[in-house]
């Protein structure tokens, strides 16, 4: 197991380095870094001086190393567009994105597992049929279109919920601005969370259903029934637990997708998060923000992957046998 984790760690480091290389290349080769920092009136000689001072004449490896060293401390420079330190910008918007992603993830998991189990156990009932058909449409609908349609129905026509922004927010601690503690904040969260979670929910639901049907056919479920265990114990004690092993992996990985897809949802609902910031930076070719976001999203994925691997070990005792063997 240790070896496995180590291998995954090495792989993660390589992925991070590759992404760092792309980010660095963006920084170094897109536009003229000097031009974006100083005014027109600076002379060529002065420019050359700044060049030297910034280390832009150093060998590639040295520059790359410096870039990584700075990135590791969260220094990605100043946004071209907003003239603020990039890390400050990202940190101030991170709570909005994380709150949205977390609520969507919980919604997607709860309803995905619930509907998945239901449609697996009540196969052939009309309710299951309806859920499955609707989910097929859910998978084919682009996320942004779901958002737009929800706004139309619930914000424009029914006027039940706000269509944009986070509502009222309050600070928790120094920098975490939350919308979860105010009524308008929670109301503002509903539509974006549904939009973001719907696709993941249908994925989880279909996965749970397929896995559950698979598990229900296994010998140990037959044996559990033959021992006279109640349906409840068989379905929820035995079948569901075994179903959740692969589902946890996928769901964990979906958390990464949720954060990624928040780019789209945040744009639709003008949600002041990191994703919306990134889209603006792509439109304006705001390289420092783009580079930082690239690194951030890669880090999120790598960390989530590692956590999922560890979770897998926690849930499935069969995988722990390696460790037992290694000890003896």
Partner 1 sequence: MTEFTPDESRPNALARAWDSDIAYSFRRSPLAIIAAVVSLIIILAAVFAPWIAPHDPFNPATLNLMDGFTPPMEPNAFTGNVYWLGTDNQGRDVFSTILFGARISLFVGFMAVLFAMVLGITLGLIAGYRGGWVDSLLMRVADVQLTFPSILLALLIFGVARGFIPPAYREAMAIWVLIVAIGLSDWVQYARVVRGATMVEKSKEYVQAARVIGAHPAKILLRHILPNVMGPVLVIATIGLALAIIAEATLSFLGVGVPPTQPSLGTLIRIGQGFLFSGEWWILLFPSLTLLALALSVNLLGDWLRDALNPRLR
Partner 2 sequence: MSTPILSVRDLVVEFPTRRGTLRALDKVSFDIAEGEVLGMVGESGAGKSLTGAAIIGLLEPPGRVAGGEILLRGERIDNLPPEKMRRIRGRRIGMVFQDPLTSLNPLYTVAEQLIETIRTHIDLSEKDARKRAVALLDRVGIPAAARRIDDYPHHFSGGMRQRVVIALALAAEPELVIADEPTTALDVSVQAQIIDVLKEICAERGASVMLITHDMGVIAETADRVAVLYAGRLAEIGPVRDVIQRAEHPYTVGLMGSIPTLTQTADRLTQIPGSMPRLNAIPQGCAFNPRCTRVFDRCKVDRPELIARAGGRQMACWLYDAAVQGEAENV
Positions that interact with partner 2 (CB under 8 A): 218-220, 222-231, 233, 237-238, 241-242, 245, 315-318, 321, 324
The least CB distance from residue 223 to partner 2, in Å, is: 5
Q: Which residue number, 41 or 219, has a Cβ lying nearer to partner 2?
A: 219
Q: Which of 120, 122, 102 is nearest to 110 (CA)?
A: 102
Consecutive H or E run containing 172? strand 170-172
Residues 281-300 that bind partner 1 (CB under 8 A): 281-283, 285, 287, 290, 294, 297
Phi-psi region of 167 (alpha: psi -120 to 50; beta: other; left: phi over 0): left
Phi, psi of 278 (to 5 degrees): -65, -45
Q: Which of 262, 116, 256 is nearest to 193 (CA)?
A: 262
DSSP3 helix / strand / coil % (the chain, rounded to 5): 75, 0, 20
Q: For residue 141, state whether it binds partner 1 (rule: CB under 8 A).
A: yes
Q: For residue 233, state whether it binds partner 1 (rule: CB under 8 A).
A: no
266, 50 contact by CB (below 8 A): no
> Residues 189-218 vs partner 1: string with x where CB under 8 A?
------------------------------
Q: For residue 148, state whether it binds partner 1 (rule: CB under 8 A).
A: yes
Phi, psi of 176 (to 5 degrees): -80, 110
Interface residue with partner 1 among 4, 17, 29, 46 (CB under 8 A) is: 29
Q: Which residue number, 175 or 220, has a Cβ lying nearer to partner 2?
A: 220
Which one of 48-56, 63-71, 98-106, 146-154 is the stretch in contact with partner 1 (CB under 8 A)?
146-154
Q: Look at the chain and count its residues.
A: 328
What, of partner 2, partner 1, none, does residue 56 touch, CB below 5 to 8 Å by kind?
Answer: none
The least CB distance from residue 29 to partner 1, in Å, is: 7
Distance separating alpha carbons of residues 3 and 324, to the nearest angstrom? 14
Q: How many chain residues interact with partner 1 (CB under 8 A)?
A: 41
Q: Which residue number, 163 or 242, has a Cβ lying nearer to partner 1?
A: 163
What Cα–Cα distance (Å) separates residue 96 from each residue in 15, 105, 294, 303? 27, 14, 18, 20
Distance separating alpha carbons of residues 15 and 168, to the nearest angstrom? 39
Q: For residue 307, state whether it binds partner 1 (rule: CB under 8 A).
A: no
What Cα–Cα distance (Å) separates residue 95 from each residue in 154, 172, 299? 25, 10, 17
Interface residue with partner 1 among 256, 274, 277, 292 (CB under 8 A) is: 256
The least CB distance from residue 251 to partner 2, in Å, is: 17
Q: For residue 149, state whether it binds partner 1 (rule: CB under 8 A).
A: yes
- Residue 177, strand partner residues: 171
The least CB distance from residue 144 to partner 1, in Å, is: 5
Instruction: Return the DSSP state at 146.
Output: H
Q: Which residue number, 6 or 324, has a Cβ lying nearer to partner 2?
A: 324
Sign of the CA dihedral with 109 first, then 110, 111, and 117 last: positive
Residues 153-192 that bind partner 1 (CB under 8 A): 156, 163
Neighbours of 59 (CB within 10 A): 9
Which residues here bind partner 1, judged by CB under 8 A?
Answer: 11, 15, 22, 26, 29-30, 137, 139-145, 148-149, 151-152, 156, 163, 253, 256-257, 260-261, 263-264, 267-268, 278-279, 281-283, 285, 287, 290, 294, 297, 301, 305
């Amino acid at each position: 197991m240790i070896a496995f984790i180590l291998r995954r760690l090495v792989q993660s480091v390589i992925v991070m380095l590759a992404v760092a290389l792309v980010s660095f290349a963006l920084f170094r080769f897109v536009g003229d870094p000097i031009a974006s920092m100083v005014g027109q009136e600076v002379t060529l000689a002065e420019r050359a001086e700044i060049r030297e001072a910034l280390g832009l004449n150093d060998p590639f490896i040295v520059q790359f190393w410096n870039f990584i060293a700075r990135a590791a401390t969260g220094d990605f420079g100043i946004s071209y567009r907003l003239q603020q330190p990039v890390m400050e910008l990202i940190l101030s918007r991170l709570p909005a994105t994380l709150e949205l992603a977390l609520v969507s993830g919980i919604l997607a998991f709860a309803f995905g597992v619930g509907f998945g189990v239901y449609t697996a156990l009540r196969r052939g009932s009309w309710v299951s049929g309806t859920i499955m058909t609707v989910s097929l449409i859910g998978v084919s609908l682009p996320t942004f279109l779901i958002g737009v349609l929800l706004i139309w129905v619930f914000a424009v026509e029914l006027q039940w919920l706000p269509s944009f922004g986070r509502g009222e927010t309050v600070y928790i601690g120094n920098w975490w601005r939350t919308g979860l503690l105010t009524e308008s904040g929670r109301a503002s969260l509903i539509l974006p969370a549904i939009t973001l979670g719907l696709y993941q929910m249908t994925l989880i639901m279909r996965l749970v259903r397929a896995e559950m049907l698979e598990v229900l056919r296994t010998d140990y479920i037959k044996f559990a029934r033959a021992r006279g265990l109640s349906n409840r114990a068989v379905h929820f004690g035995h079948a569901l637990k075994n179903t959740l092993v692969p589902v946890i992996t996928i769901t964990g990985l979906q958390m990464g997708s949720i954060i990624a897809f928040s780019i789209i949802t945040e744009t639709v609902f003008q949600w002041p998060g990191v994703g919306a910031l990134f889209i603006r930076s792509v439109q304006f070719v705001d390289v420092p923000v783009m580079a930082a976001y690239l690194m951030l999203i890669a880090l999120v994925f790598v960390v989530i992957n590692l956590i999922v691997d560890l979770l897998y070990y926690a849930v499935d005792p069969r995988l722990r046998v390696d460790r037992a063997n290694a000890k003896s």
